[in-house]
Amino acid sequence: MRGVQKLAWVEVKLFIREPIALVFAFAFPFFMLFVLAGVFGNDVDPADEENLRVWRGVGPSDYYVSTYVGLVMASAGLVTLPLRLAAYRDAGVLRRYRAAGVSVPVVLGAQVLVSLGMSVLAAAGIIVGSTLVCGRPPGELAAGYRRHWPWPAHLLMHRRAAGGDPSIRQGGAGAGLTLFFVMMMISGSGPPLEVLTSAMRAVSNAMPLTHLNLVVQDAWLGFGWSWAESLITLAFGAASGILAVRFFRWE
């Protein structure tokens, strides 16, 4: 664990030097949240049953705050983390780690720890930023969130970023970005789940971000803790971790 912490501190300093990583971890989710807040506003008609069903009884902006907490985690797991590992592989950094006796769990653990920390910071920024835009004190919604401990498992999806393909950096980036935008559109972070077609919902249910969004949103909006969605999210995280270790390549 100490090795993970030491390597994570080095990774933090390297992380803040990467413009793409910072954009996807911080700027992009903020931008999308504020665009959607401007389009949909935060008003809900209590007499419109369909409107209440689509937005789960809250204003659209409140609805999206929790889903964009999940989105920053997806951006870390599918975009910034794979790109960083692929860049390390191309530059020979991973080879130096292996020569220094650093194990695969330590390398991946440090990366996940940094990504998790950045995700938490970005999530806090989204909550504060949305409060300034919507004018609603965070305590009104967060009170419901605090009633339903434990906190959500902020699980990051590990990609096969250090695989054996010579063009893995380009391929990994393309695959990660594709999955990121697909999940963003059908996981509840784009159109609400209630307006998706049955085929879209079937695909959405196979995406980890959908279940993570529901875990966070249910607790955030005061609907209670969803143990079923939590277990599904944990299963995705465990499977991703096993695959990441199994297919990791130093060079």
From the list 82, 113, 96, the residue with the least C-alpha distance to 4 is: 113
pLDDT of residue 236: 92
In sequence order, what DSSP letters do the residues of 153-218 get, joined into one string?
--PPPPP-TT-S-TTHHHHHHHHHHHHHHHHHHHSSSSS-GGGS-HHHHHHHHTSHHHHHHHHHHH
pTM beyond 0.85: the answer is no
pLDDT of residue 114: 86
CA distance 116 to 184: 19
pLDDT of residue 129: 75
Q: Sign of torsion, CA 132 150 147 209?
A: positive
pLDDT of residue 164: 42
**Which residue positions in the chain have pLDDT lower than 50?**
137-168
pLDDT of residue 137: 46
Rg of the Cα trace of the chain? Answer: 19
